Amino acid sequence: MAWDFETDPAFQAELDWMAQFVRDEVEPLEHVLGSPWNIHDPRFAQLVRPLQRQVKERRLWACHLGPELGGAGYGQVKLGLMNEILGRALFAPIVFGAHAPDSGNCEILAAYGTPEQKRRFLEPLLANEVVSCFAMTEPQGGADPKVFTSRAVRDGDGWMIDGQKWFASNARYAAFYIVMAVTDPAVSPYRGMSMFVVPADTPGIEIIRNVGVADDPEATHAYLDFRRVRVGADCMLGAPGEAFAIAQVRLGGGRVHHAMRVVGQAQKALDALCERALSRSTQGSLLADKQMVQEKIADAWIQLEQFRLLVMRTAWRIDKYHDYQKVRKDIAAVKASMPKVLHDIASSALQVHGSIGVSNEMPFVGMIVRAYQMGLADGPTEVHKVTLARQLLRDYAPSDALFPAYHRPTAAAAAAVRFGTEPS
């Protein structure tokens, strides 16, 4: 009997330290600095580096990685609890060396990189001496790999890359890009795309423009052009045709880590909702006494706890199986539900705050926009719901009790034929 929802006291002490450190030292940074990925801003050295040193001294740096890479090698359950705290502040992930997309890029460089790629790209990335970018999406679509046209063709002993990439986050600050390109157009993109680690200063790469989200003053998502970009054979990450298999490793972990941080953001919105309800009076009583406000608080808590349990169970299953394929269904469910959880709870907090709720002095509009981002980045919600439904249908076992026997062969055949193994 192994159901257990407790945190061991020694780890809880670390979490308590993190929570106070993030609240006191890290949360204020977002009011004075621009993008967390702009490590070139001189103020980053002044304000962020000393905090990173404290985190390293406390051995809480890059905890998603194993000790061989300088992390604590915590499993996903511990990471879940940590990420809930990091989710409360924009700069917390970079202060703890756990920021996307670098965290995922580190994971694939560690898993698939050659010793030379690890020395050249992984080591400085792990130390946050540089930041990186992941360039997969193309202007003609991100949700359907079959429309990807960026090509890499053999050129002497290396490769020549041509094509365009869209919404490549943080390209403007990145020292290198991990780029997906078609190397074998004769087969499905799931087997015909390869991954390349391309230094940002390679001739032929142009940032056509940087795109911002909503009214973000710092436009950080790049529209990139690759024109006759020549890279050596040593720039391929993994084997030819392996890009999608590698991307799944990266995206599987990344999606869950986003969800863990969304728990923290939604909890912050719920905290604000409770504080407002307990501190604002109208028509002779506190907002906390109004039943429609109470309903918002109750709904927010229920929604958040349900989501948190799903996230933590998924984390537990990743730790148990160490195989993202085995938890694809769970990750898809987490990914599909997170935008709505954040959207709904932030919206209730916004509403109960009245005019200041929509103002730029409160975080709720930003959270709602982030909820939409969560429903797009790493794949749209619809695609993840399709993945989830297909897995459920494929694994469906007809029940003797419910259905007549003559349905069973038909259902089993339909599941086998329709719901194959294509990744999403």
* Contacts with ligand FAD, residue ranges (CB under 6 A): 101, 134-137, 141-144, 167-169, 213, 221, 373, 376-380, 382-383, 386
Closest CA to 325 of 237, 406, 251: 251
Q: Which residue lies nearer to ligand FAD by CB, 17 or 223?
A: 223
CB of 284 to ligand FAD, least distance (A): 44
Q: Which residue lies nearer to ligand FAD by CB, 18 or 334?
A: 334
Residues 6+ apart with CB under 8 A from 198: 161, 176, 177, 178, 179, 205, 226, 229, 231, 235
Q: Which residue lies nearer to ligand FAD by CB, 31 or 146?
A: 146
Q: Which residue lies nearer to ligand FAD by CB, 132 or 314?
A: 132
CA–CA gap between residue 337 and residue 140 (Å, rounded): 26
- By the 8 A CB rule, do 335 and 259 touch? yes
* CA dihedral over 146, 147, 148, 154, signed as positive or negative: positive
Residues 6+ apart with CB under 8 A from 419: 390, 391, 393, 394
Query: Cα–Cα distances in Å, from 389 out to 86, 309, 414?
Result: 31, 20, 14
Closest CA to 164 of 207, 200, 131, 199: 207
CB of 147 to ligand FAD, least distance (A): 8
Q: Which residue lies nearer to ligand FAD by CB, 97 or 142?
A: 142
CB of 424 to ligand FAD, least distance (A): 8
Q: Residue with the closest Cβ to ligand FAD? A: 142
CB of 160 to ligand FAD, least distance (A): 21
CB of 167 to ligand FAD, least distance (A): 4
CB of 60 to ligand FAD, least distance (A): 25
Strands (DSSP E) found in 183-335: 193-199, 205-211, 221-232, 236-237, 281-282, 285-286
Q: Which residue lies nearer to ligand FAD by CB, 167 or 196?
A: 167
- H or E stretch including 123? helix 123-126
Q: Which residue lies nearer to ligand FAD by CB, 194 or 348?
A: 194
CB of 24 to ligand FAD, least distance (A): 28
CA–CA gap between residue 344 and residue 337 (Å, rounded): 11
Q: Which residue lies nearer to ligand FAD by CB, 348 or 387?
A: 387
CB of 141 to ligand FAD, least distance (A): 4
CA–CA gap between residue 293 and residue 277 (Å, rounded): 7
